[in-house]
Amino acid sequence: MNQVIDRIHKIGTTKNKTNTPQTLQSTIEKQMGAFISMIIKNDLSIKKTLEISSNYGFSALHVCSATKDRPGAHHTIIDPIQTARGDRTYIQNLSEAGIAGFHLVEKRSEFALPELAQTQMGQFDFIFLDGWHTFDHSLLDCHYATRLLRVGGYLVVGDLSVPSVLHVVDFIKSWPCYNEQSSLSKPLSDSRNKQLSRLLLSSISRQTWEHFLAPRLCRHIFQGDALQMIALKKVCEDKRDWHWLNHRFP
């Protein structure tokens, strides 16, 4: 692993450009960073990467460290508050790690992504989404990310512990252009209510319940772990017609 990542993990803080330590907040955890690295390292064709958003540059460090030795590797970061926050910590961290192939688009994703889509449709090999977590924002990010990804590229979505983000992922997973490649989960405690619900529902299979209950509720009852991150592979162009999914809203 990169020494800067290693150090930040160990001490739990990062430094801004005036060398003031800052406690890491709203940033990916160690196993999530390892998940991102694993997806990128397993596919040598990944060079052109995009991320929404970067905060202290910690997720960017994982992406860029994994592609660092690949010729032509370049990382685009969309994050609206780097200058406003005044510290530009992400640059400090990336520079210290010896990474130069990146640039920041300092705008909100709802404005930056449509602009990117006008010139760079289908050009990214890997996109990591970890921006503003409302349902509508997450869906908008996924919509544009799907246009920006090439066929064979990966969409990784973080923070699935946030219900609105999980709802969006449950929806986009059903798009024919995506195959679930891999996911990261953490164990959940098994409450009495869950055990009782499982017992009551056990006469019928989980697959059958999935037709009647929301995916999130099914997962909550039947599954012993909670999804944290998911990697979807774009396997074909998104060719859904205007009436796609109308059967779900009769």
Ligand X SMILES: C[S@@+](CC[C@H](N)C(=O)[O-])C[C@H]1O[C@@H](n2cnc3c(N)ncnc32)[C@H](O)[C@@H]1O
Residues near ligand X, by CB under 6 A: 26-28, 52-56, 58-59, 78-81, 108-110, 130-132
Under 8 Å CB-to-CB from 154, ≥6 apart: which residues?
39, 43, 46, 125, 126, 127, 181, 231, 232, 233, 234
Calpha distance 157→183 (Å, rounded): 10
Q: 131 or 153, CB closer to ligand X? A: 131
Calpha distance 113→118 (Å, rounded): 9
* CB 126, CB 50: distance < 8 Å: yes
Strand bridging mode 124-129 / 178-187: unpaired
Shortest separation between residue 145's beta carbon and ligand X, angstroms:
12
Shortest separation between residue 122's beta carbon and ligand X, angstroms:
22
Shortest separation between residue 59's beta carbon and ligand X, angstroms:
4
Q: 27 or 46, CB closer to ligand X? A: 27
Q: 29 or 43, CB closer to ligand X? A: 29
Beta bridge partners of 230: 157, 183
Q: 147 or 206, CB closer to ligand X? A: 147
Shortest separation between residue 240's beta carbon and ligand X, angstroms:
25
